[in-house]
Homo-oligomer: A and B are copies of this chain.
Amino acid sequence: MKKKVSLADIAKSLGVSKTLVSLVINNKADAHGISKETQQRVKSKIREMDYHPNVLARGFRMGKTNTIGLIVSDISNRFYSRIARKIEDYAWSYGYNVVICSTEEIIEKEKEQIYFLRDRQVEGMIISTSQDNCSFFNDMYVSGMPHVLIDRVFAGMKSPNVSVDNFGGARMAARHLLNQGMKKFALIAISPDHISTINERISGFVETLSEADINIPSKWMIRAPFDQIDITVRTTLQKLFQEDDLPEAIFTLNNNLTAICLKYLTDLKVNIPQQVAIIGFDDSIYFNFTRPTISSIQQPIDMLSEKAFDLLLKQIQKTAIEPHLHSVKLPVDIIIRESSLKPDAL
């Protein structure tokens, strides 16, 4: 693996040209009418000398790196790691590698990472952005850098994108709670407060409630900074449960929030859903065996990843993207379990 045998070494030791060897390696020998016998000689020499093409050099020469980038806020979040896995599978099947980057929701870091990947000539990127508007990506789109925005999107953006129906999902959650006669709600989101998914979920929830003439008091609209979710949720819940006036249900806006919220509700010995019901955005296998089991909005992660990769590949291959696929919004499901049921329904 070490000796760094090059194509030239093979050619020399065989007394043939580099062209010949290159042709054989790339299966273009037949097309060029290279004799079977020569081909065999080359092939066995390659094996003999344990030659491995320098893919980097080839990529450099051909302007193809066979690498794509995946940029998300945090690869250890299961939502993103599942996306990563799917993207990786598709990528691998097309001969691509994927480079991962976690932005920690820091806009500057995200930009830096995108620039870095671009300078390294990745052929495309799939991005769940932390930015607060699409001008950066519109420029990128105009510049011709293949990319697709995933999960988090903006109105009026030019880049191909695929997301889920956050608004509709939140609406489902709200309706489900309203249908059971609940009237008092709290909502826990993360900040920064320009994340599109979070805002769409908030809108969906809030608007649906207001159609029923219900508002969420501002003290129950909770924002936990991305890097301080744990402590924020803990102190907020502690304070909340010191008061007499409690919400009937809490809507947690992503999987981390749901988990952390449940952890501290448990610590506080709050009965779910008797004292307070809960429903989260983004499902987890664990929600099946907590007691109570946890209701949630389930996202079509596999489909999301598949569509995203497909859109990226089309750009890389310069295949036209049908207009109706340029911006895809996927439906979500509500999984009703015990945590969101009115106590008397249990």
Contact = CB atoms under 8 A, between A and B. Distances in A.
Interface of A: 1-2, 52-57, 59-60, 65-67, 74-78, 81-82, 84-85, 88-89, 92, 97-102, 113, 115-121, 139-140, 143-145, 259-260, 262-263, 265-267, 284-286, 288-291, 293
Contacts of A120: 55-56, 59, 66, 97
Contacts of A285: 259-260, 263
Number of identical protomers? 2
Contact of A266 (B143, B259, B289): B289
B1 A119 contact: no
Contacts of A118: 1, 52
A68 B85 CA distance: 18
Contact of A59 (B56, B66, B144, B265): B56
Nearest to A117: B97
Contact of A121 (B54, B88, B99, B145): B54
A260 B66 CA distance: 36
Nearest to A113: B92
A119 B53 contact: yes
A98 B202 CA distance: 35
A100 B98 contact: yes
29 contacts: A1-B139, A2-B143, A2-B145, A54-B119, A55-B119, A55-B120, A59-B120, A67-B99, A75-B81, A76-B81, A76-B82, A81-B84, A84-B100, A88-B100, A88-B102, A92-B113, A97-B99, A97-B101, A97-B117, A98-B99, A98-B100, A260-B285, A262-B286, A262-B289, A265-B289, A266-B289, A266-B293, A267-B288, A291-B291
The residue in A88, A97, A118, A262 that gathers the most chain B C-beta atoms within 10 A of its C-beta is A97
